[in-house]
Amino acid sequence: MKEQLKIKDLVLVAAFAVLGVMMMYLLPMPFIFSPYTILISPIFQALFLSIPFFLVATKVNKKWALFIYCLIWGLGGMMPYYIAVMVLAGLIAEYLRNKQDLSRYNSLSISFAIAMLMHYVGGTIIPYLLTKGAEFEMIKQMYGEDYALKMQSLKTIPFMIMVTIAVVVCSFVGSYLAKKLLKKHFS
């Protein structure tokens, strides 16, 4: 297997990354109508964002492909701290990809769980901690004061820890689903 990425590989990685970014924004749509459900939407995302992540690993399967995927995923989030945590996730994914003592599936599952953890931290926890007041005002303008107040009352440290654990667990479930889906179609 040649490890060097070719133009075709970069196009595939970019296409799968764009699919992942689209899913990142579209999957929470059914959840936005309630502050209860929007806060748990990353759990739902963890089940399905594994598919484009695993597609990159199975269809491209070359060094730096997962890093580039995570970089594009981060750029799709548009926030500097989100980009930074997704770059870190990509570097970890590349490190785990090259670990000889892990099976391919295990390294991908762990990499995806870390990527989803970084997605949640960079997309929810860091913005909450850094921009609490501005985030509240933005949500109030978009959804109304009652929605914003309810969301603010729900966004507690214990709640975010609970969601973080659920995101990681569901990442492994999503990895299993992606493995089954890709085994059926690409073996």
Report yes or no: 59 and 12 within 8 Å, Cβ to Cβ.
yes
Task: Report yes or no on 82 lying in a domain.
Answer: yes
Question: 116-151 burial string, b = 16+ CB within 10 Å, else e?
Answer: bbbbbbbbbbbbeeeeeeebbeebbeebeeebbebb
In a domain, 98, yes or no: yes
Q: What is the pLDDT of residues 58-90, one digit of tens each?
A: 889 899 999 999 999 999 999 899 999 999 999
Residue 60's nearest CA partner among 114, 108, 97, 6 is 6
Domain count, the chain: 1
- Could you tell me if residue 88 is inside a domain? yes
Q: Is 135:127 a contact under the CB 8 Å cutoff? A: yes
> What span, in angstroms and rounded, lies between the C-alpha atoms of 150 and 61?
44
In a domain, 60, yes or no: yes
Task: Answer whether residue 37 is part of any domain.
Answer: no
pTM of model > 0.85: yes
3-class state of residue 74 by DSSP: helix
Give the structural domain span for 148.
Answer: 7-30+42-182
Residue 136 included in any domain: yes
Q: What is the DSSP letter of 32?
A: T
Express each pLDDT in 144-180 by its tens digit: 999 999 988 988 889 999 999 999 999 999 999 999 9
* 44 closest CA partner among 32, 62, 56, 61: 32
Answer for the pair 82, 74: CB distance below 8 angstroms, yes or no. Answer: yes
> Residue 116: inside a domain, yes or no?
yes
Residue 1 in domain: no
Residue type, 131: T
Residue 35 pLDDT level (bands cut at 50, 70, 90) = confident
Element at 33 (helix H, strand E): none
